[in-house]
């Protein structure tokens, strides 16, 4: 076997430990050789659990990037440093997987796309919901043309009460926004990918700060600090595309609604429709009758063996590493993530001004 790819992880918090590190650890063609966190003990802990025997630890990412033996960097820091660290890593000759959202602004996201083009290194964004079984299946259905022309879609990112209270998620300056940029980004990415449509024409948006200032609020992760809650608690967008297709995006961390649905989309096309309720449902018309089918997504298993199916995160990591080894395009292309960033930014802008934002 050729030499293993050497991977470094910058930011050793929740998503690094919950997704990147366990998935990368399962891939035979890589070694985890360097870890960085401004809280050094987090880098040390991660190195101990996931790294090779003499893995290096840093509290300054610039020092880590000086190690010429590192091939790939995973950027798992808060949103405000995604662009800076990813661009520096690309300039240092590394391939980069950066967590979602790509960046706080479309200007930063554009600089990331340009840096990848300039350096010839690969860049991808951690839109792991594309790698779920239902998403993979629906993408195949849609790409085969079974739905016809998809002219209406909904992107769902609605939590009734699940405000992330750790880290800096409530901090407008560090995150660039609340549920829209945090979970709306996944739902919109999924929707555009299913539609294969990256040409927005106009956006109207609204954002609300209605529940965030409440004290002792009910919440999946415990009550939040209303003083720190500077981002919106809900945001909604109405997006029209150049070909006339229309998308409604709904995002919330806290809203009085029983209609919860996160990182999902509903599609309506000329030949059929689909949604991700109760698993995956495909609907349409055959022989003058309407039909709706549920796709069986579980592979089953037997009493003594659950099966050894690859998880979403493992598939995401494996395809990313294979794209580097085989020199192919990653599943999540930087230009696609740039369009997601542009649309989210336009929703925030429209919410502030009360006016539609038009793309030239």
Ligand X SMILES: NC(=O)c1ccc[n+]([C@@H]2O[C@H](COP(=O)([O-])OP(=O)(O)OC[C@H]3O[C@@H](n4cnc5c(N)ncnc54)[C@H](O)[C@@H]3O)[C@@H](O)[C@H]2O)c1
The minimum distance between CB 188 and ligand X, in angstroms, equals 13
11 binds ligand X (CB under 6 A): yes
What is the size of the binding site for ligand X (CB under 6 A)? 25
Which of 109, 267, 94 is CA-nearest to residue 194? 267
Q: Which helix (H) or strand (E) holds 277?
A: none
Looking at 8-16, 219-227, 304-312, 321-329, which segment touches ligand X (CB under 6 A)?
A: 8-16
Residue whose tokens read 């080894």? 325
Note whether 221 and 164 are within 8 A (CB).
Answer: yes
37 binds ligand X (CB under 6 A): yes
12 binds ligand X (CB under 6 A): yes
Neighbouring-strand partners of residue 74: 9, 97
Which of 25, 98, 103, 28 is CA-nearest to residue 61? 98
Note whether 159 and 217 are within 8 A (CB).
Answer: no
CB nearer to ligand X: pick between 16 and 231: 16
CB nearer to ligand X: pick between 147 and 189: 189
81 binds ligand X (CB under 6 A): yes
> From the list 78, 148, 226, 279, which residue makes contact with ligand X (rule: CB under 6 A)?
78
Window 111 to 150, contacts with ligand X (CB under 6 A):
126, 128
The minimum distance between CB 189 and ligand X, in angstroms, equals 10
Residue 232 to residue 214: CA distance in whole angstroms: 13
> From the list 32, 34, 46, 79, which residue makes contact with ligand X (rule: CB under 6 A)?
79
Cβ contacts of residue 82 below 8 Å, gap of 6+?
Answer: 75, 98, 99, 101, 102, 103, 104, 108, 112
76 binds ligand X (CB under 6 A): yes
- Give the number of other CB atoms < 10 A from CB of residue 351: 20
> From the list 61, 224, 320, 338, which residue makes contact with ligand X (rule: CB under 6 A)?
61
13 binds ligand X (CB under 6 A): yes
Is cis: bond before 101, omega within 30 of 0?
yes
C-alpha distance from residue 139 to each of 9, 78, 315 (Å): 30, 29, 15
- Give the number of other CB atoms < 10 A from CB of residue 272: 21
77 binds ligand X (CB under 6 A): yes
The minimum distance between CB 272 and ligand X, in angstroms, equals 29
36 binds ligand X (CB under 6 A): yes
42 binds ligand X (CB under 6 A): yes
CB nearer to ligand X: pick between 347 and 357: 347
**In the stretch 208-227, what mask flags binding to ligand X with x, by CB under 6 A?**
--------------------
CB nearer to ligand X: pick between 37 and 261: 37
Residue 140 to residue 168: CA distance in whole angstroms: 37
Which of 250, 247, 243 is CA-nearest to residue 268? 247
**In the stretch 160-189, what mask flags binding to ligand X with x, by CB under 6 A?**
------xx--------------x-------
120: left (phi over 0), alpha (psi -120 to 50) or beta: left
100 binds ligand X (CB under 6 A): yes
Nearest residue to ligand X by CB is 13
39 binds ligand X (CB under 6 A): yes
Which of 349, 91, 70 is CA-nearest to residue 235? 349
Residues that bind ligand X (CB under 6 A): 10-16, 36-39, 42, 61, 76-79, 81, 99-100, 126, 128, 166-167, 182
């Amino acid at each position: 076997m050729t030499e293993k790819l050497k991977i470094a992880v910058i930011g050793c918090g929740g998503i690094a430990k919950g997704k990147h590190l366990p998935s990368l650890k399962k891939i035979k063609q890589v070694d985890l050789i360097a870890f960085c966190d401004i809280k050094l003990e987090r880098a040390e802990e991660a190195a101990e659990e996931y790294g090779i025997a003499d893995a290096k630890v840093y509290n300054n990412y610039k020092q880590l990037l000086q190690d010429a033996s590192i091939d790939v960097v995973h950027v798992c820091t808060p949103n405000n440093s995604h662009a800076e660290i990813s661009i520096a890593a690309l300039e240092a000759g590394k391939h980069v997987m950066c967590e979602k959202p790509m960046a706080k602004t479309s200007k930063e996201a554009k600089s990331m796309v340009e840096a990848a083009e300039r350096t010839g290194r690969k860049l991808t964004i951690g839109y792991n919901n594309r790698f779920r079984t239902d998403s993979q299946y629906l993408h195949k259905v849609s790409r085969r043309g079974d739905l016809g022309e998809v002219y209406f879609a909904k992107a769902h990112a609605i939590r009734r009460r699940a405000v992330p209270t750790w880290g800096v998620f409530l901090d407008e300056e560090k995150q660039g926004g609340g549920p829209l940029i945090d979970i709306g980004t996944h739902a919109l990415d999924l929707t555009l990918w299913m539609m294969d449509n990256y040409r927005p024409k106009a956006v109207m948006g609204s954002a609300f700060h209605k529940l965030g200032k409440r004290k002792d609020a009910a919440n999946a992760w415990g009550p939040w600090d209303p003083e720190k809650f500077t981002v919106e608690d809900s945001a909604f967008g109405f997006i029209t595309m150049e070909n006339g297709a229309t998308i409604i995006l709904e995002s919330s961390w806290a809203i009085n609604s029983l209609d919860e649905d996160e990182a999902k989309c509903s599609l309506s096309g000329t030949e059929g429709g689909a949604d991700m309720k109760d698993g995956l449902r495909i609907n349409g018309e055959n022989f003058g009758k309407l039909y709706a089918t549920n796709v069986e997504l579980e592979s089953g298993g037997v009493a003594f063996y659950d099966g050894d199916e690859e998880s979403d995160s493992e598939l995401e990591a494996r395809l990313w590493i294979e794209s580097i080894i085989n020199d192919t395009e990653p599943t999540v292309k930087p230009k696609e993530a740039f369009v997601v960033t542009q649309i989210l930014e336009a929703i925030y802008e429209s919410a502030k001004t009360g006016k539609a934002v038009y793309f030239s």
